[in-house]
Structure 1
Amino acid sequence: RNKRKTDLNYKLTDNLRNRVRKTLNGKSKSKNTLKLLGCSVDFLKKHIESQFEPGMSWENYGFDGWHMDHIVPCASFDLSDPEQQQKCFNYTNLQPLWAKDNISKSAKLDWVKS
């Protein structure tokens, strides 16, 4: 909680991730979020599904299943810049990744799945 108060980039990243998560879960369809993603929710879901590995489904999206990974990590962008927000959260920078792999990847650009 303190990090959200003291680290602007962390707060922005958290807020933007929450917007995308709510959109995917059908809890929000903000025009701004769709602009950020660069596509419709249906298109994003199909794009992500086309990259599913065996065992991945929307039912196991989240904490213990798979995560929405940013291919180029959020930490590589200046999220106070709206143009960089759009690059970071564009559907072309998103992929499904098993939770353990995403945690292992962290903010690395040169990560290779084992």
Structure 2
Amino acid sequence: MKLITRSNCTIQLFLVSLIVALMTMLPSTLFAKEPEYAKWSRLAFSEIKKKYPNASVIDYLHVERKKMISETVPDEVEETFKFWLNENGKQFAVYVRIRYVLATDKVLLIKLTETTR
């Protein structure tokens, strides 16, 4: 039969307190939900791969989400992404703009624009 001593309880209490303290110090990003633009970044990636099948993506950035002023589509939003690509030793950037209806996620426009910057 194991005896529970005061020192054992103190050690166990210390360990539990330490674990709780460490868990509260974990970055909140470990528990963060997926960003709202994630779905659209996946679509932008697939459009990049369609247009530039031999290019490798060096990096990408979600530039902005912009609410469009439209009388015909009051719920219109545009997501803008910038991709840095490398194709046959040539590096360049491509902006991908995706316009859609916020309430329904219906895509209205996908536009790719190459730039040197």
TM-based fold match above 0.5? no
Bin the TM-score by the shorter chain: 0.3 to 0.5
TM-score, L = length of structure 1: 0.33
Q: Relative to total residues, which structure has the larger strand share, 1 or 2?
A: 2
Q: Greater Rg, structure 1 or structure 2? A: 2
TM-score by length of 2: 0.33
| Structure with more contact order per residue of length (Cα contacts < 8 Å, sep ≥ 6) | 1
